Chain A
Amino acid sequence: MELVLDTVRKTFGGVVAVDDVSAVMPQDRVTALIGPNGAGKTTLFNAITGFDPPDRGSISFGDQRIDGLPPWRVAELGLIRTFQTPVGFTTLTVRESLLAAATPHFAETPLGALGLSRKARDHERASGDRAEEISAELGMADLLDVRTDELSAGDRKLLEFARSLMAEPKMLLLDEPAAAVAPANIGRLSQLVRRLCDERGLGSLIIDHNLSFLMQIADEVHVLDRGALLASGPPAEIAANPDVMRVYLGEDGAKDSEA
């Protein structure tokens, strides 16, 4: 199964933010999406996940057209995204946030709330175990009962990632998952992303400015520049591509070190 973009275009009041981008991203691989600020990476994410549908072109996941679907429907199909600014469920604790992500629809009705369904109770218990597991893997087990708005920016970022894992994804869309994360935790993060892909076939599409992080874990890299696809290929090939170097070093050379 793969995520397929076909001549996707998005404009904002005459400015072309995404310019006829076509790409194929396998569901079981790690794909990186890089490019300088304003290249249209997040706009592309919003187009894929239904938050800001494209003006033109088609997007499909497996054999399902997803452009034009509402965000919750895209998520139900297994495409789970994170957000660049990790605000999250501000007043919920880490544990509550993770459990909320895992709650199935059948438990989310007023009658379901009365707790009569054994199935819902079993699901809740299993989710609780999984929440502890995932938070331990990301080194945030001691934060389970802390409210989201009291986490550091880096921990909120990790929570974004952990939360998306709880939602039974088929493919992750991670918007700058390593930004503001402590260096020690970036290591855990990249190991986990890689392991999820290799062991469970759960691939990701990742935007980040931290190129060394991306180049380590990505199977394939796409470079966006001013809305258009500049280059695609394996990390080594992209690193050697003179056009890519020019875009990065020429205009935005400092970006690499920012994260």
Chain B
Amino acid sequence: MQNVVFGIVTGSILAVATLGFALVRQTENFLNIAHAQMMALGAFVGVVLVDTYGMNIFLAGAITVVGLGALGVVLSAVFFQPVRHQGGTVLLFTSIGLALMMYAAILALFGTQARFYPDVSGGLHRFAGIGIATNELVIIGLAFGSIAALQIFLNSTGLGRAIRAVASNDDLARVRGVPVRTVSNTIWFISSAFGAMAGVMLGVLGAVNTEIGWHNILIVLAAAVLGGLRSITGVILAGLLLGIMMDVSALFIPTAYRPVVAFGVLVAVLILRPEGILSVQRRKDAVVA
């Protein structure tokens, strides 16, 4: 059971990260490989604010999330907007290029030394023999709080509904006069902010190193694919499930296999149940080309 709790913590962070990734996938129609570098950047900016400038962790987290959200908007305008008309392939490879550049920026700015957040665990609570630290509770709370806030935003504001319209049918949304530019900026802000938030959370629980991005991109991809790339609830469930699976698997097989489990699950799902992932429309397209 202890590992299930660890898994829920991991899974909550994963759900936040994946949601940001899936939002872009749904609305801009490409896999943004640079998303995980935003996580790494979040972890570093957060640790620098807390460790070097002695800032309170919550304030540092808030500044990181908002600042990197804004950075995401700028990066999308500089890198993705100009090649948007060239389709998903070019966008995907552009995102790989951007990921490499962000990785280089992280290396240059923060160096290759691992860094650590000061201990903010805030003591251990015990419920029926299961231990959970305060920071872990806060992470779960914040994760689900922000996901719920996103849901409310998408469902009950005009802009949120516009985003959902774009996600379900781009052309239709354009015809109906949705402000595409504003919608796109909002999407990039939310996506990058969620990535940065997941990065700070990962950093708080472990070490901050330059490889965070590359280590997490596949896990995020796995969660996104598992969740079906299209439904928000699916992504949340997939994130949680994957997190729990990775941590629970540690009971049966050596912990070194943890990432292998995630990728193994990904490959198995893709290969055994492609019909669960490919929508009906996609398969029809494949048939009649």
Shortest distance from the beta carbon of A175 to any chain B beta carbon, whole Å: 11
Cα–Cα distance between A87 and B285 once the two chains are bound (Å): 13
A to B CB contacts below 8 Å, 6 in the list: A46-B287, A46-B288, A51-B287, A51-B288, A52-B287, A87-B289
- Where chain B touches its partner, the secondary structure class is helix
Cα–Cα distance between A90 and B287 once the two chains are bound (Å): 17
Shortest distance from the beta carbon of B82 to any chain A beta carbon, whole Å: 24
Q: Which residues of B contact A (CB under 8 A)?
A: 287-289
Tell me the chain A residues, 30-63 only, with Cβ under 8 Å from chain B.
Answer: 46, 51-52
Cα–Cα distance between A52 and B288 once the two chains are bound (Å): 9
Q: Which residues of A contact B (CB under 8 A)?
A: 46, 51-52, 87
Q: What residues of B have a CB within 8 angstroms of the CB of A52 in the complex?
A: 287
Cα–Cα distance between A86 and B66 once the two chains are bound (Å): 50
Residue of A nearest to B289 (CB): A87
Cα–Cα distance between A259 and B287 once the two chains are bound (Å): 26
Shortest distance from the beta carbon of A258 to any chain B beta carbon, whole Å: 21
Q: What residues of B have a CB within 8 angstroms of the CB of A46 in the complex?
A: 287-288
Q: What residues of A have a CB within 8 angstroms of the CB of B287 in the complex?
A: 46, 51-52
Residue of A nearest to B287 (CB): A51
Cα–Cα distance between A52 and B285 once the two chains are bound (Å): 12
Shortest distance from the beta carbon of B184 to any chain A beta carbon, whole Å: 29
A-B pair count, CB < 8 Å, reads 6
Cα–Cα distance between A172 and B42 once the two chains are bound (Å): 61
Shortest distance from the beta carbon of A100 to any chain B beta carbon, whole Å: 15
Shortest distance from the beta carbon of B172 to any chain A beta carbon, whole Å: 22
Q: What residues of B have a CB within 8 angstroms of the CB of A51 in the complex?
A: 287-288
Q: What residues of A have a CB within 8 angstroms of the CB of B289 in the complex?
A: 87
Q: What residues of B have a CB within 8 angstroms of the CB of A87 in the complex?
A: 289
Q: What residues of A have a CB within 8 angstroms of the CB of B288 in the complex?
A: 46, 51
Shortest distance from the beta carbon of B279 to any chain A beta carbon, whole Å: 14
Residue of A nearest to B280 (CB): A13
Cα–Cα distance between A197 and B136 once the two chains are bound (Å): 78
Shortest distance from the beta carbon of A224 to any chain B beta carbon, whole Å: 19
Shortest distance from the beta carbon of A81 to any chain B beta carbon, whole Å: 12
Shortest distance from the beta carbon of A54 to any chain B beta carbon, whole Å: 14
Shortest distance from the beta carbon of A43 to any chain B beta carbon, whole Å: 11
Residue of B nearest to A51 (CB): B287
Residue of B nearest to A42 (CB): B288
Residue of B nearest to A52 (CB): B287
Cα–Cα distance between A185 and B288 once the two chains are bound (Å): 27
Cα–Cα distance between A193 and B24 once the two chains are bound (Å): 51
Shortest distance from the beta carbon of B287 to any chain A beta carbon, whole Å: 6
Shortest distance from the beta carbon of B92 to any chain A beta carbon, whole Å: 20
Shortest distance from the beta carbon of A91 to any chain B beta carbon, whole Å: 14
Cα–Cα distance between A52 and B289 once the two chains are bound (Å): 13
A-B interface, 6 closest residue pairs, ranked by CB to CB distance from nearest: A51-B287, A52-B287, A87-B289, A51-B288, A46-B288, A46-B287
Residue of A nearest to B284 (CB): A52
Cα–Cα distance between A87 and B287 once the two chains are bound (Å): 14
Shortest distance from the beta carbon of A99 to any chain B beta carbon, whole Å: 21
Cα–Cα distance between A46 and B289 once the two chains are bound (Å): 13
Cα–Cα distance between A227 and B289 once the two chains are bound (Å): 23
Cα–Cα distance between A198 and B287 once the two chains are bound (Å): 34
Shortest distance from the beta carbon of A75 to any chain B beta carbon, whole Å: 15
Shortest distance from the beta carbon of B145 to any chain A beta carbon, whole Å: 40
Cα–Cα distance between A52 and B287 once the two chains are bound (Å): 8
Shortest distance from the beta carbon of A5 to any chain B beta carbon, whole Å: 20
Shortest distance from the beta carbon of B288 to any chain A beta carbon, whole Å: 7
Shortest distance from the beta carbon of B4 to any chain A beta carbon, whole Å: 40
Shortest distance from the beta carbon of B96 to any chain A beta carbon, whole Å: 23
Shortest distance from the beta carbon of A47 to any chain B beta carbon, whole Å: 12
Shortest distance from the beta carbon of A44 to any chain B beta carbon, whole Å: 14
Cα–Cα distance between A51 and B286 once the two chains are bound (Å): 10
Cα–Cα distance between A51 and B285 once the two chains are bound (Å): 12
Cα–Cα distance between A56 and B131 once the two chains are bound (Å): 60
